[in-house]
Amino acid sequence: MINRVRVIFPCFLIIAIFLFAGSAIGEVVKVGALNDMTGATSDVGKDYALGIAEAYHYVNDHGGINGKQIKIYQFDYGYRIPEALTKYNLFKRLKCVLVQGWGTGDTEALSPTVAKDKMPYISASYSAHLTDPSKTPYNLFYSADYSTMARATLTAWFDTVWSKGAEKDKRKPRLVCSYMFASPYCSAPIKAIKDQAKLLGFEVGEDQDVSLFALDAKSQVLAMKKFEPDVVWHGNTAMSVATTIRDAYSLGLKAGHITNIWGMDENLPRLAGEAAEGVMAAASCAYFGMDVPMMDDVKAYAKKYNPGIPEDKRLIRTIQGWCNVLVATEAMIRADKAGDLTGEGILKKGFETMKDFNLGLGTNPVTYTPTDHRPTSKVKVYQWKDGKFNMVADVDLQQRWPDQWANEWLGW
């Protein structure tokens, strides 16, 4: 019995010391972060999570929130919703003022809860469903939403490829959408891109269901061939997009390829090889290593905090993580200056005071208003050509379709 006490008592003592060790830290601004390092979306989630951590180091090294250091509680939730809920409750208990979320799963699951709790939730899911403040007031992000990006990418292809082609005056261009029907992320911009296709005079073929985990898409490509599309919209992530364009290449589908932001990154050419040549995609920020303001900082912090990962293996996901941190930090700085560093303060005195705010890193300036949380109407479209990403267009939807932008396109 005495031996057991000798073992158990020190164990409890050690646990107690660790449990209360954190209370010795001075005044800090607490931020929670949910990331996926082990779950279904970890292929892109790992790099994003590294970007979040490195960016907060950068912010703290550069003055934090008006001198207050940010303490980030960053958890891998494995893309499990019950885990996300538990961790979110933990963030509330820790008095976190803001949460950096991840994908569609946790963002949509927690959307009613964060609205009730008035907790700004900055996600890597850019669904247009999250941009209407009357429905999801506390869901925010720095990027153009998926629907805006889809409209812009199709427009860019129409302007730069179709309008210069020989067929343009002879017939309508043909579009097919290839994505996983059941995935909320993949299906989010489909209604918008079809609406845009109608606006630009496209003929739209039957959608093709390609799983996010697809290793073969030949049957879908063969189905597409019957329609003879001029361009294919890929709504999945890079791995399955690579599968589809590789099969399209080998089966001789004569069509251009355009993708969502998560569909093209530095891994796509590695996975798809020659088939990736000419693929176009929207990107809400620069690709890793591009010559844009602040990229040197990103590279320096990547090297400092994750020296084991070579620079050429880092992805645009790192930059996306940085951008969400930078926009959240700016909102917190503004709210703190206004003396209201609360969830509601961060929204109203932080985000909703930003007008054409430039984050750097190749982003377009962002604006949030109390009635419209679409950060920007401008989208940069890149093309993979000759071994590098080249910007082919910077489409401004608001400038080209001001009425629809103002009155019709919010929230879908």
Partner 1 sequence: MSTTFLPCGLYHQNYSEDQGWFQTPFIKGKMILLFILMFFVLPYVLDDYWLGNANMIGYTILGALGVQLLIGFCGQVTLGHAAFIAVGAYTSTLLILNVPWPQVMLDMGIAYPISIIAAAFVAGIWSVIFGLPSAKVKGFYLILTTMAAQFITVDFIITQYVSQIGGRGQAFSLPPGTIKIGPWIIDSDVKVYYLMCVLVILCTVGVANLLRTKVGRAWVAIRDNDIAAEAMGINIVIYKLSAFFVAGFIGGVAGSFWISNLAAISPEHFPWFWSLWLVGVILIGGAGSIHGVVFGSIFMVVVMELLSLGAMSMADYYPDLLMKFQFIKEAAFGLAICVFLMYEPYGLAYRWWQMKNYFNLWPFSY
- Which part of the chain contacts partner 1 (CB under 8 A), choosing from 112-120, 154-162, 216-224, 353-361? 112-120
Helix (H, G, I), strand (E, B), or coil: what is residue 390?
Answer: strand
Helix (H, G, I), strand (E, B), or coil: what is residue 354?
Answer: coil
Helix (H, G, I), strand (E, B), or coil: what is residue 381?
Answer: strand
Helix (H, G, I), strand (E, B), or coil: what is residue 379?
Answer: strand
> 385 - beta bridge partners?
388
- Which part of the chain contacts partner 1 (CB under 8 A), choosing from 87-95, 225-233, 268-276, 398-406? 87-95
x-marked contacts with partner 1 along 179-218 as a string, rule CB under 8 A: --xx-x--xx-x----------------------------
Among 100, 127, 147, 367, the residue binding partner 1 under the rule CB under 8 A is: 127
Helix (H, G, I), strand (E, B), or coil: what is residue 207?
Answer: coil
The residues, ordered by sequence, that sit 6+ positions from 385 with a Cβ below 8 Å of its Cβ are 277, 278
Phi, psi of 219 (to 5 degrees): -65, -40
> CB of 206: closest distance to partner 1 in angstroms?
16
- Which part of the chain contacts partner 1 (CB under 8 A), choosing from 32-40, 142-150, 323-331, 345-353? 32-40
- Which part of the chain contacts partner 1 (CB under 8 A), choosing from 20-28, 167-175, 309-317, 337-345? 20-28
> CB of 18: closest distance to partner 1 in angstroms?
4
Task: Return the amino acid letter for 60.
Answer: N
Q: Rule CB under 8 A: which of 38-77 touch partner 1?
A: 38, 49, 53, 73-77
Among 1, 5, 11, 21, the residue binding partner 1 under the rule CB under 8 A is: 21
Among 66, 89, 250, 358, the residue binding partner 1 under the rule CB under 8 A is: 89
Q: Which of 54, 74, 116 shows the shortest CA–CA distance to 304? A: 54
CA 12 to mean position of chain CA atoms: 42
Q: Is 360 in the site for partner 1 (CB under 8 A)?
A: no
Nearer to partner 1, 309 or 392 (CB): 309
CB-based contact 362:326 (threshold 8 Å): no
Nearer to partner 1, 105 or 269 (CB): 105
Nearer to partner 1, 78 or 360 (CB): 78
Tokens found for residue 374: 């679409």
Gap between the Cα atoms of 238 and 265, Å rounded: 7
Q: State the burial class of residue 396 (Cβ atoms within 10 Å of its Cβ: 0-12, 13-18, 19+).
A: middle
Gap between the Cα atoms of 136 and 358, Å rounded: 24
- Which part of the chain contacts partner 1 (CB under 8 A), choosing from 81-89, 244-252, 293-301, 358-366? 81-89
> 258 - beta bridge partners?
233, 280
Which positions lie near partner 1, rule CB under 8 A?
15, 18-22, 25, 35, 37-38, 49, 53, 73-83, 85-86, 89-90, 92-93, 104-105, 108-113, 116, 127, 129, 181-182, 184, 187-188, 190
